[in-house]
Structure 1
Amino acid sequence: MALNQIEEGGVVILAVDGNLDGEGTQTLEDTVVGLLEDGTTKLLFDFSGLDYINSSGLRVLVLAYQRLKKNSGTVAICGVKDYIQEVFEVSGYDKIFPLYPTRTEALGAV
């Protein structure tokens, strides 16, 4: 897994490439927790390069959502491939997280 972090218009974007499982999940969780502790309130996960996500990867998303919701923050996801979107739909996470086709659309909404 590769993780690229940038900030655009007050939104921290975490672009995740490859597979989000095992060690990659821990890296993402550490990054997310650090951002939240530093006061980040708008977080966008760009999954356009993501090929696989397991339950521990989904858990990191929920962790971000729960912590940001308490502080009136926002979590959004963009660039989800069809087969990964099915995981979100089956798990009901598409009801929790706003999903956007592109980063531009997500930034416009967040």
Structure 2
Amino acid sequence: MDLNEEAVDGAYILHASGRLDSNTAPILEAALPERVKEKPVVILDLANVPYVSSAGLRVLLKGAKTAKASGHKLILTGLAKSVQEVFDISGFTSIFVIAPTVDDARSTLS
């Protein structure tokens, strides 16, 4: 998994690419909780993530809990159909704010 970061108009965007599984989850776990503690709004772009395992879900849940505890916002974008299905089945759809694209997520902040 690769992570690229950028700040755009008051939002902090993490672009992830590659599988999010037990081998790669530590990469996201090293970045996501700290970013949501530091930044009022973090958009996690998953458009290039074709697969999320239970280990990946755990990291995302940790990020959501950290954001909530710090009064900040975590928005997920670009979920592939297969990833969306995992979120629907696991009940994660109700936990996260999910937008189709980064631009859609940014427009909700205005």
For the pair 1:40 / 2:42, whether they are aligned, the reply is: no
More strand by share: 1
Q: Percent identity?
A: 29
Any runs of at least 4 consecutive aligned residues in structure 1 with deviations exceeding 6 A, and if so which? none
Letter in 2 for 1:17: S
Structure 2 runs not aligned, ≥5 long: none
Matched residue count: 109
Residue 18 (structure 2) pairs with residue 15 (structure 1): no
Task: Determine the C-alpha separation between the residues in 1 that align with 2:68 and 2:91.
Answer: 18
Cα deviation code 1:44-87 (max 9, x no counterpart) = 11011011111111111111111111222111111111111000
Q: Distance in 2 between matches of 1:96 and 1:33?
A: 16
1:81 is aligned to 80
CA distance in 2, matches of 1:88, 1:36: 20
One-letter amino acid matched to 1:4: N
Q: Any unmatched runs of 5+ in structure 1?
A: none
* Normalised TM-score (structure 1): 0.90
CA distance in 1 between counterparts of 2:48 and 2:87 reads 16
Give the superposed CA RMSD. Answer: 1.3
Normalising by structure 2, we get a TM-score of 0.90
Q: Give the structure 2 partner of residue 50 of structure 1.
A: 49
